[in-house]
Structure 1
Amino acid sequence: MKRFHIALAVADLDASIADYSQRLGHAPQVVVDGVYALWRTDLLNFSISHQPEHAGKLRRMGFVDDEAGHGHADTDVNGIDWEQVSPLAHDLRLATAYGTPRYASNEDDLIRN
């Protein structure tokens, strides 16, 4: 499966989780307390990270793709970072960058890659 990924920086993680959960219709599937949240839908991976100094800014875009392997990253002509990465590589990068994630406990809320 291939999902579009968009990552935003936010000033207040808890307020942002509440807002985006309402907008997306469910709680995030992955949370690293105080620093990161990720929603997975059939078409979209949407993540936010606590970076008050860059709040509201696009951090990166790309695709989470079963066929991507370890993936690759580059920057487009407008200076936007893009990456293409497998679900496993994405989860490993998440743990390395932010710490141990907490996954949704309700299987109905968790879309597995």
Structure 2
Amino acid sequence: MKRFHIALAVANLDASITDYTRRLGQSPAAIVPGRYAMWRTDLLNFSINENPQRAGQLRHVGFEEDGTEGFTSTVDVNGIEWEQFSAQEQDRRIVEMYGVPVRSGSV
């Protein structure tokens, strides 16, 4: 499966989790309190991290795709960072970067 990935910075993680859970119609697959949350829908991999100074800004985009080896990151002609990774690689990086999620769908 291939999911489009978008990552945003948010002012308040808890308020954003409530809002995006309603918008996406499901709870996050992973939450690291005060730091990070991620949803996996059928077509979308959506993540947020608390960073009030950058609230509302795009952090990066990319694709989660089964069978992808490792993790790659490139920058397009507009300066936007694009990542490509497998679900397993993202799960590993969540723990490495943010800590162990208290809620875990597949992390």
**Fold equivalence (TM over 0.5):** yes
Which letter does structure 2 place at the counterpart of 1:43? L
Shifted more, 44-53 versus 64-73: the winner is 64-73
* Residue pairs, 1:1-113, within 5 angstroms: 1-104=1-104, 110=105
Letter in 1 for 2:64: V
Aligned partners of 1:88 and 1:21: how far apart in 2?
A: 22
Post-superposition Cα deviations, 1:54-113, rounded to whole Å, max 9, x if no partner, equal: 100000100011121103111111111101001111111111111111234xxxxx4x59
Structure 2 length-normalised TM: 0.93
CA distance, structure 1, for counterparts of residue 6 and residue 94 of structure 2? 14
TM-score by length of 1: 0.89
Counterpart-to-counterpart distance in 1, 2:100 and 2:82: 24
Distance in structure 1 (CA, Å) of the matches to 2:86 and 2:38: 15
5+ residue gaps, structure 2, are: none
Sequence identity (%): 54
Pairwise CA RMSD:
1.4
Q: Provide runs of 4+ in structure 1 moved above 2 Å.
A: none
Segments of 5+ residues of structure 1 without an aligned counterpart are 105-109
Q: Aligned partners of 2:19, 2:27: CA distance in 1, in Å?
A: 10
SS of 1:15's equivalent? helix
1-structure distance, mates of 2:59, 2:67 = 23
